[in-house]
A and B are shown apart, each in its own frame.
Chain A
Amino acid sequence: MTDVSLAVVLPLLGAFVLPLTRHGILRSLGPVIGPILLAACALILFAAWSAYDVPYAVALGSFAPPMGITFYIDDLALLFALAVPLTTLVLWPGESDPAATGRQSLTLLLAGSLTGLALSGDLFNVYVFYELAAVASYGLVVGDGRSPAYVAAFRYLMISALGSVVGLIGIAIIYFKTGTLNLADLSTLSGELADPQGLAAFAMLVIGFGVKAEAFPVNGWVPEVYGAVGKRVAALLAGLASKLAVLVIVRILILVFPHDETRQLLLVLGILGVAVGELAAWQARDIPRMLAWSSIGQLGVVFVAFSLPGKAGVIAGVTVAMHHLVVKSALFLLADRWDRAIESLKGAASTSRIGAALFVLFSLSLLGLPPLPGFWSKFLVLGGLAASASPLQLLAMGTILAGTVIEGAYLLRVVVTFYARPDAAVRVPGQRAGNLLGAGLFALVLLTAAVMINPLWQGLEVLAERAVDTNGYQHTVLGDREAGR
């Protein structure tokens, strides 16, 4: 049972060891350490999944909670934790220039910290892992050495650091009021945090963790960074890191702040995200920025989904989030060679048939064409919104539907450009085999999910039930002492 914490520690160990492999004897080991460790993490998590029966907690350092840090393992945590090493393996930076060891170290640190975010059950530990993911991503954004990347990285750093300062103030307020940092302990004290002060602390935490989740006030960095950086790194950030940040916010919401006002805050942020994201994506004239704004829009849908109360919210949110992870990572992989203005990609389909076909597949899933999984994810969100029908939720429903129409407009515009007759003067680059392979793997996952809807649905039901069971969480982590001291 203690093995699960290895999934967090092994990538960190790999990152520390990698710079040693630049010198002399260990040079041949260098390129393989990362993928081997990530594969080991994936195996450990698979083993944990197959041995998994009911949620359990791991007390790190053998110190009893709430004094020590605990990891909480349930379906939701395992799902997201498993997604991390697998996605990182597919998106692994394979170059071998002199700066490659640095980039690989940073990718390993990103993977380790994201796994930690999925598993951790302590508020400050979540903050530390979030900061690790943030600093690793600053380094990855800089990685290629192109000039615009430096300015984009600086702006991203400033917005993210500002968010972290605000988040730290929020953590200070929570600690002032309750005296504990363990999420299970805070969950028993959630009544004390229901006053305006506590809600302000939650809003501060959303600003803090929302930077990576591309939440509304703090997402100004997104189009610049995804435009300036290599697209494999953009896939890691947009596809993987943002989902884990949303997971953290949702865990805190469900466990510590399960009130209507906090859900409304998420709903409002989601509506703003969808509206701004889809409209700006329609205006964008090159592929990377179009995908960046579209990602903001989709994460808005994720926020709206998780703002629904109860099991329905978790099921809808997890479906949309996982779907977006697969689709957006694949789209960014395809955009690696096609990162230019849309008009200059006329006739791309004749240069790379598979690439264009995959693009069409992912676009259709994003739009929500049945029987692709995208249809189910949108259906769950809209169904949940229609069920409770308050004015704000009707507004959300309308925004998402309008957003889908706009999505259709800009995605199909790109597809039409791809399949048009190629311009003789402009040469469209073909796709790289590695990227096509990665996108193909994602397509395989997508189609498998489309076929196996029923077993997936049952699994999701169980996942959601355990995720919203706060009493069960408290009992598992804290044993039988549930009331305050």
Chain B
Amino acid sequence: MRNLATLLFLGGLVFLLAAITGTLPFGHPPMLVGQAIQQAAKPEVGAANVVTAVVLGYRGLDTLGELAILFAAATAGGLVLGGVQAKGRNNALPAAGFVQRAGTDVLFPLLLIAGLYVVIHGHLTPGGGFQGGVILAAAFFLPLLARPSESLSHIWLSVIEGLAGTAFIALGLGALYNGDAFLTPLFDKGMFGELVSSGSLPLLYLAVGLKVGAELSSLLMRLAHDDGAAS
């Protein structure tokens, strides 16, 4: 009986959503804003990757909000999971086997390079601060799995996080100093398609990448070290 009710509910929802979205113009979107941005992105922002131009330029405030959401989630997660664990508690977990330890030692620098590459080239190829930041967080999570007794310092992670977030906002506020609105791209646009181009966009993404990497590493560490502390 319960399964029948579930099936009816599912069927009803599918019907409702299909009826609503059935006649949408797939493949031929009206593209009012999209068209205008594609034409204006090269002269105005100078980034080869138009999505980065949108994320950091045209919709930069959304990106700031997104950073703040990740920060809020990490802070709330920190409040839920309790504070920094005492150093002695991790010794209960033994180090992992040889394959994992050796593999981690090989992969760690490779992942770091891959993450930094994705972060820095965000304005030229698909990628950017968020994607690269997640790769960096994964890079710092592997040693945690291999050798649980050695963990990163929470203090350093939160300092990096705070400074990177402040740097992002400072770059945005710098434009106010010039008399423009908040988050106007600074610096010269440079040669199109080069690594050093499109003004302050690579710097913004670098700040984003460091912040996201530090935040997710810290969150993963807290989840890993949670021993059910009765707080």
- A joins B in a complex: yes
Chain A neighbourhood of B25, CB < 8 A = 176-177
A401 contacts chain B at the CB level, 8 A cutoff: no
A265: min CB distance to chain B, Å = 15
Is A128 in contact with B80, judged by CB distance below 8 angstroms? no
Is A67 in contact with B58, judged by CB distance below 8 angstroms? yes
Given contacts A179-B33, A200-B20, 12 further A-B contacts (CB under 8 A): A6-B182, A20-B166, A67-B58, A99-B83, A112-B68, A113-B68, A116-B61, A128-B69, A131-B69, A135-B73, A135-B76, A179-B34
B228 contacts chain A at the CB level, 8 A cutoff: no
Task: Tell me whether A68 and B58 are in contact in the complex, defined as CB-CB below 8 angstroms, given that A19-B158, A58-B181, A185-B32 are known contacts.
Answer: yes
Which one of A47-55, A137-145, A430-438 contacts B?
A137-145
Task: Tell me whether A61 and B58 are in contact in the complex, defined as CB-CB below 8 angstroms, given that A9-B172, A13-B169, A185-B32 are known contacts.
Answer: yes
Is B159 in contact with A23, judged by CB distance below 8 angstroms? yes
Q: Which residues of A contact B (CB under 8 A)?
A: 2, 5-6, 9, 12-13, 15-20, 22-23, 58-63, 66-69, 98-99, 102-103, 105-106, 109, 112-113, 116, 124-125, 128-129, 131-132, 135-136, 138-139, 142-143, 145, 150, 169, 173, 175-182, 185, 197, 200-201, 484-485
Q: In which size bucket is the chain B interface?
A: 35 or more
Which residues in window 63-83 of B have CB below 8 A to A?
64-66, 68-69, 71-73, 75-76, 78-80, 83
Chain B neighbourhood of A59, CB < 8 A = 181
Q: Which residues of B contact A (CB under 8 A)?
A: 17, 20-21, 23-26, 29-34, 36-37, 40, 44, 57-62, 64-66, 68-69, 71-73, 75-76, 78-80, 83, 155, 158-159, 161-163, 165-166, 169, 172-173, 175-176, 180-185, 231
8 smallest A-B Cβ distances: which pairs? Answer: A139-B76, A179-B30, A16-B165, A179-B32, A128-B65, A20-B162, A62-B184, A135-B72
Is A181 in contact with B33, judged by CB distance below 8 angstroms? yes
Q: List 30 A-B contacts (CB under 8 A).
A: A2-B180, A13-B166, A15-B68, A19-B161, A61-B57, A61-B181, A61-B185, A62-B184, A63-B58, A67-B40, A68-B59, A69-B60, A99-B79, A106-B72, A113-B65, A116-B61, A124-B59, A128-B62, A132-B65, A135-B73, A139-B75, A176-B24, A176-B25, A176-B26, A177-B24, A179-B30, A180-B33, A185-B32, A484-B32, A485-B32
